Amino acid sequence: MKPIVLGNIFTILFGLSQTFDTKANSHLWMIPSKIGRITNKFPSTSITDIFGDISPVAYNERNLRSEKETFSYDESDPYGPQNWGRLSEHCDGSQQSPISLYSNDSLEIYRRPLRIQHLDTIPNSLTFRNNGHSFTITFNYPGSRVAAVSGGPLKNSYVISQVHWHWGMNDYDGSEHILDFRRYSAEAHIVTYNSKYGSLTNAMNQPKGLAVLGFLYEIDNSYGASDIPFGFLVENVIESGSSYVENSHLFSLRHIIQSMEFDYLSYKGSLTTPNCFETVTWIVSTKPLKISSHDLAQLRRIKDEKGKPILMNYRPIQRTNYRDVDKYCSQSQYTQKYY
């Protein structure tokens, strides 16, 4: 391999070294660019005093990320979507999300209605959070009360953990899933975990551990079309890592999803951010919600871990790999299978 000049040294990357450490995938060698006169006299100063540690450095793509680094949505970034597999091997799996969805007709099979427990319950408080990648809301209910999803493709009850949003740089390109060849303006995800595992952390990497409800948004700038005041919601969480507990201006889950009368598509997939665990039952509504250009602009105000506004935060479309996708109709509660 051709040497790369870095200051006063050559940096040469070898594909494999069996001389020092057979467990490493490869090594980074540092060789001086200037070689002095050879002598049989030992110098008074050691070579390590001059050049520092010149032993081979183990180079492993899985360990590229330092503790302070995190994933990015920028494809020019070393930790962009195309390199998420370096951060977690699950991101290179065969059942990744999001995917392109198509609402064409097929065979109808009966399924139970999809239900959300405490859909209209006003929580004791709401926690707004900027996690450096998105804006999230957690509903805090009194006592042991929890909001949960059941029915449809879900055989157990799934506890709602949080809601977050994905958006893009413009008003017409921001959803993660593509529906019938169209990428929508934004997408909300209601993240839930299988109640038998007790917590989101425990369920995250377990079979059928998670279910995510996805709601697509389309632009509507007419008065009153958008019910969520994003400007108010994000005002106190502009900076990455910030959070805010709201005790006064409260609302229920219905305020976000509006109605349970919607058709949806369901498939087996993954989380759309690292670690990309393939443990998610996806439920994506085919009935878009409304959002205004002003509200989308408010979401773009929040900042990432580098202090820059998050202008887009959706993952590129992944391969379907012949997965089944079921279509559930809200009226008949039948499902239509297609491939």
Rounded distance, CA 221 to CA 175, Å? 18
Show the DSSP H helices in 226-302 as ranges: 230-234, 254-257, 293-299
Three-state SS at 295? helix
Residue 81 one-letter amino acid: P
| 189 is known as an active-site residue | no
CB contact at 8 A, 151 and 264: no
Rounded distance, CA 337 to CA 326, Å? 5
Residue 201 one-letter amino acid: T
How is residue 76 annotated by DSSP?
T
The structure tokens listed for 92 are 């290179």
The contacts found for 244-249 with CB under 8 angstroms, 24 or more apart, are 244/127, 244/128, 244/129, 245/125, 245/126, 245/127, 245/128, 245/140, 246/125, 246/126, 246/127, 246/128, 247/124, 247/125
Name the catalytic one among 90, 133, 166, 189. 133
Residues with active-site annotation? 133
